[in-house]
Amino acid sequence: MKVVVQRVSKASVTIAQKKVVSIANGLLILLGVVNEDTIEDIGWLTNKIVNLRVFGDDSGVMNTSIKDINGEIIVVSQFTLHASTKKGNRPSYIKAAKPDVAIPLYQSFIKQLEQDLGKSVQTGEFGADMKVELINDGPVTIIMDSKNKI
């Protein structure tokens, strides 16, 4: 399971020209799932995300988490995070999980993230053509892969 975590001052998701979710200060998370992902991957990632100290403290040092600032989160599914570009110029998405595997894991990720955060998170729509708009604050962008924990 791979995530791209972006600290944002605002973010939104639009589907079919209708803004479906938006947040102010918080995190935008792009989530990619592979067939080998498990509940353990979810627990490891969500714990890391909610405790990730990427927000400024009173001294302006990145020393506080999303929980500390009571920030908001948007999660967007993105199978292209597992693209392989080893051969040619057209990315291969063969490693990305098919919807029958990915959707339950995506939903479990959201539930676990809400539990770890202690409040609801916003989401895009799995498989939809989404327009994601954000102002990356910093910029701060962290990439985590549950298969590279060590």
Active site residue 79: yes
Residue 55: active-site member: no
The token duo for 74 is: 């948007």
- Residue 84 Cα to chain centre, angstroms: 20
Q: Which of 6, 46, 78, 123 is flagged as catalytic?
A: 78
State both tokens at 97: 């999980």
Q: Are 32 and 96 in contact (CB under 8 A)?
A: yes
- Of the residues 46, 79, 112, 123, only one is catalytic, namely 79
Residues noted as catalytic: 78-80
